[in-house]
Amino acid sequence: MVDATDRGRFQEAKEELTHLLETQELASVPFVVLGNKIDKPQAASEDELRQQLGLYAHITFGRDVR
């Protein structure tokens, strides 16, 4: 879960997520990333969260990628 209003921690969240995605034991485990506080006016948009966290390279949109 990522606080969508705390842009100062997006890099930390990205680094942690990258570490998890690169962990061999988790290679077949699906991940869900949730943006918290998206109702706040200062919150990042869904697109901004995807860009800042580097998610576009990992999005499967429900496709089986095995």
Q: Does 37 count as an annotated binding residue?
A: yes
Is 47 annotated as ligand-binding? Answer: no
Distances (CA, A) of 51 to 1, 3, 15, 64, 66: 16, 15, 13, 22, 24
Which residues on neighbouring strands pair with residue 36, listed in sequence order?
3
Q: Does 59 carry a binding-site annotation?
A: no
Residue 39 annotated as lining a ligand binding site: yes
Binding residues for GTP: 36-39
Return binding residues.
36-39
